[in-house]
Amino acid sequence: MANIYILVPQRGLDLEVLDYNNGNYELKMCPKIAYEKFSVHIKLGDQDIHGSPFMVNSEPGNTTDVQIVKIENNRVGERCTFEFLAKDSLGNEKVRIILFFNKCEAVYNTMLYSQKSGGDNIILMLKGVAVHSKIFNPNVPISIKDLKTGRYIASFTSTLAGNYSIGVYKIQTAINPDPVFLKSVEVPLFAGICP
């Protein structure tokens, strides 16, 4: 019997070897970390077997979570920026979403906008309650610019302060277009500075 060595990245890769007892073997690999590119060497003694090393690109998995990482200038009348990180179920960063709030004008029931990036079809659902009003205006436009790098820049306008909630959803597939909720992010929009 021979010893066959499997040389793998330092961490984040589950391995399993199946012996079919007929001369056939199967090496199963399940990466946990998005390395982008790594190699797997399989050696018999000091020499790689035929076909080794194997080059592998491990990409982030499907987006299942989002995390807000930055809020800047969240006052009415100012340009507000919100940056989000989207991650897969294993914590690998998937996409970045950046939102700009600029002179927000009303309060806001629901706003839907979708944009594809990095293989995900992201939908942002905006809900808000103004401090002194319960008026809802579902027609507040929100725009998203896809930077094609996994980052989004989105914007809408409002002039009323309040507590806002941004729900981030994604559409799984064109066959199953129902949006799947990922996370709701609470964003306060404070009153502007008195002139």
Which residues lie near other proteins (CB under 8 A)? 1-11, 15, 17, 19-42, 44, 49-52, 54-62, 88-90, 92
In angstroms, rounded to a whole number, what is the distance separating the alpha carbons of residues 181 and 34? 23
Instruction: Tell me whether residue 66 or residue 187 sits nearer to other proteins (CB atom).
Output: 66
CB of residue 47 to other proteins, shortest distance in Å: 9
Instruction: Tell me whether residue 39 or residue 133 sits nearer to other proteins (CB atom).
Output: 39
CA 116 to chain centre: 11
Instruction: Tell me whether residue 37 or residue 132 sits nearer to other proteins (CB atom).
Output: 37
Indicate the SS3 state at residue 159.
coil
CB of residue 178 to other proteins, shortest distance in Å: 22
**End-to-end CA separation in angstroms for the chain:** 84
Instruction: Tell me whether residue 58 or residue 155 sits nearer to other proteins (CB atom).
Output: 58
Q: How many CB atoms are closer than 10 A to CB 173?
A: 8
In angstroms, rounded to a whole number, what is the distance separating the alpha carbons of residues 65 and 182? 5
8 A C-beta contact, residue 42 and residue 54: yes
> DSSP letters of 99-117?
EEEES--S-BS--EEEEEE
CB of residue 184 to other proteins, shortest distance in Å: 24
Instruction: Tell me whether residue 35 or residue 113 sits nearer to other proteins (CB atom).
Output: 35
CB of residue 18 to other proteins, shortest distance in Å: 8
CB of residue 53 to other proteins, shortest distance in Å: 9
